[in-house]
Amino acid sequence: MSSPQSLFPLRIGTTYPTLVNGADIAFCCEAREGGTFYCKQDKDGRQIRATEWFFTLLARHLNILTPDCAVLEDVQAQETFFGSLNVQSAIADFEAKKFLTTSQRGELGQPSEWPGAYLSSLYAFDLFAGNVDRAMNNFFVVQEGFSRKLCSFDFASSAVLGMAGLNFPVATDATIRIGRFLRHRHGFYLRTAKEMIDRIDAVPIETIAGFLKQMPDDWLGIEQREGICELWSSRKFGARLLALRTGLTDESLL
């Protein structure tokens, strides 16, 4: 998961129905170049492929651990899909849910900042992205030596064209409900949430343009791409970041 996303389409080999819960997953497949992927396509007027691609790459740039992603191509149908590498297992899924539902303590029994600080940072990112559907099964635990890290995925319910607005997920949305549950277990760290806002603000236009350039042409229209670049180059999302910072500070967005 530390390697960059594939810069060239991978060819779809064997396909089969997905065995995981995910309303936007069309199917699973084995890529001919290797790897098992969950594949998503646009539906119901939603630009799911572009949304997943943009916010997954942005999350990775901001040091949010995500599975590798790639463009998956059905050569015969001449159709492309957003693919997220499957690195999960039933055991890993169980461990992640157990980890997230259990308050963590340090070696001396004191409350631990992990994973509360990370979850606070991810919550700020989800709100900026307009992700209304963060779920408990959108996490898994990665063991690296003696440390554990959380990996997050599924940004399909974000709003790639909503970054100039001031609409955020509301109390009835899953992101807010799950956020409250996790804060009850692990606390909320305003410092790391604000650090995420600062990191988003510091992302250069060249990085955003690179995300869009790597995306297949038919995933997002030219005018929409130009609109996102204009939004970022002119920093028109500044009002959104300010509203997000204010809402997290006065707890109106918690």
pLDDT of 4:
45
pLDDT digits (tens, 9 = 90+) for 29-75: 999 999 999 999 999 999 999 999 999 999 999 999 999 999 999 99
**Mean pLDDT, the chain, whole residue set:** 91
By percentage, how much of the chain surpasses pLDDT 90?
Answer: 78
What is the pLDDT averaged over residues 116-140? 96
pLDDT of 112:
81
By percentage, how much of the chain surpasses pLDDT 70?
Answer: 91
Residue 106 has pLDDT above 90, yes or no: no
pLDDT of 2:
40
CA–CA separation, 19 vs 231, rounded Å? 39
Does this model's pTM top 0.75?
Answer: yes
Residue 6 has pLDDT above 70, yes or no: no
Confidence at 3, pLDDT banded by 50, 70, 90: very low
pLDDT of 1:
46
pLDDT digits (tens, 9 = 90+) for 185-219: 999 999 999 999 999 999 999 999 999 999 999 99
What is the pLDDT averaged over residues 101-124? 84
